Chains A and B, each alone.
Chain A
């Protein structure tokens, strides 16, 4: 009785605002667009058959999300390694905090910061002063990639740091004592043992990127179009709700697939699925 009262509000919230809405978009995805926009009941697979009409958005998202995650990984790994292995323990908490804090501050503001810097009156203006005129930085795939790395780097550093921190230092010493080159210790011991963290980071960043809207919108200027941008367009501008729902359902299916693959790999390499966002 007490238990039911404790869980009741959360259960109601989950059902009304997560489960039912999700059922709603599944139902909508089999419907038709009403002439004046919105939804009209039907049972058709036409919306899913039409997914190709947004192939560019899918292609951009499905290439830039993994590329972005890998770019994050390349930058994140040395930082996580330094924090976990090399950093002075007295400063470690502070340094880790300095990585986490930006992630919890406004993504809009952080993306805007790059828009401001890459825009006409920012870096291109400075380049102009030293002789490089007409350099376009904003509204390019490069700018989107930069924004992705900037926005999601903390989320990649953190899980790798957590797995490296748990690493047993005696293994590294043993390896060195047995005459292994630092290079082979690193690739033979450190890297394999940090794979769960790496997998968690890649999965998290990829999943969040699959639903990204702000970065391509502000730094890609509508030229580098993600699924998120297609969804905003379909729901808020052209009001084709059934088609939008079909895309949203497909997006969730992709997210679930990525998650399952990542969990499977993480499970196989070390038996942990824990993610620590704080």
Chain B
């Protein structure tokens, strides 16, 4: 039994460990370690296209996760204050945002935005004074919108679970002692739900940073890091990709470990 479980852990970690290992290999072959070298990292970091893709991904992940953390938390708090019917509608839509395959989310967003742009852009052109007419197109906005959808659902779920586990008594005590609702929120509720908000933000950030399929549809002329990596893989596997993959892995590992530590409190309670 133990041996079997150990084998499964090996199975889970060996492939990524090998990618990390070979990212430090000075040779080009996946089958032989020639010597230690950081040349592939040097090459990756001095590749302007790669760095631009990284920057794009960071901007998108930061914005979509930030918006999701704020709006998702607001929604989680708001859902405490509504009737069961409204709550059921929100729960259903959030569940749909999580369950509908990314490929469909990407397509639906693409179709809707393309239709919207083809409607709005001529209108803008006809009313805009001067020649420098702004033109709506796919890019940062559309990726942030599509990522924000999943992320907001995620944050709302996590924060809602945390709120549900809080005792009502302390909130009521605060009210009995004449604290305003805002003070009660700031002093009592927020400190208790803060770890879950941060955890939600980090998970949302990781999701956005790693997402390929949604961005693939709605990125327009922008290139996110996963899109860049995907395109390079199709051109041929190179050791440079191992270096990029390792950096992506390390980044998401750090974020997810922090998120899990923040959520541990809740886990033990449940």
Query: A108-B212, A235-B107 in contact; A117/B15 too (CB < 8 A)?
Result: yes
Q: In the complex, which of the residues B12, B146, B152, B237 contacts A102, with contact meaning CB atoms closer than 8 Å?
A: B12
Q: In the complex, which of the residues B12, B110, B113, B156 contacts A153, with contact meaning CB atoms closer than 8 Å?
A: B12
A160 to chain B, nearest CB (A): 13
The answer to whether A101 touches B93 (Cβ under 8 A) is no
Query: A107-B210, A117-B18 in contact; A211/B104 too (CB < 8 A)?
Result: yes
Q: How far is the CA of A248 from the CA of B101 in the complex (A)?
A: 10
Q: B257: which A residues are within 8 A, CB to CB?
A: 97, 101
Q: B1: which A residues are within 8 A, CB to CB?
A: 78, 82, 86
Pick from A2, A98, A214 the residue with the most CB of B within 10 Å: A214
The answer to whether A121 touches B30 (Cβ under 8 A) is yes
A146 to chain B, nearest CB (A): 10
Query: A7-B82, A112-B19, A115-B237 in contact; A278/B263 too (CB < 8 A)?
Result: yes
A-B residue pair count with CB separations less than 8 angstroms: 243
Q: At the interface, is chain A mostly helix, strand, loop or mixed? A: helix
Q: A101: which B residues are within 8 A, CB to CB?
A: 253, 256-257, 260
Pick from B8, B71, B101, B209 the residue with the most CB of A within 10 Å: B101
Residue tally, chain B, CB below 8 Å to A: 83
Q: List 26 A-B contacts (CB under 8 A).
A: A6-B75, A6-B81, A11-B90, A14-B149, A25-B108, A25-B112, A79-B4, A82-B2, A98-B13, A100-B260, A102-B13, A106-B210, A107-B210, A108-B212, A108-B226, A109-B249, A113-B15, A115-B237, A116-B15, A116-B22, A117-B15, A122-B31, A211-B101, A251-B101, A255-B99, A278-B263
What residues make up the interface of A, taking CB atoms closer than 8 Å to B?
2-3, 5-7, 9-11, 13-14, 16-22, 24-25, 28, 38-39, 75, 78-79, 82-83, 86, 93, 97-102, 104-110, 112-117, 119, 121-122, 125-126, 129, 150, 153-154, 207-208, 210-214, 218, 227-228, 231-232, 235-236, 241, 244-245, 248, 251-252, 255, 259, 278
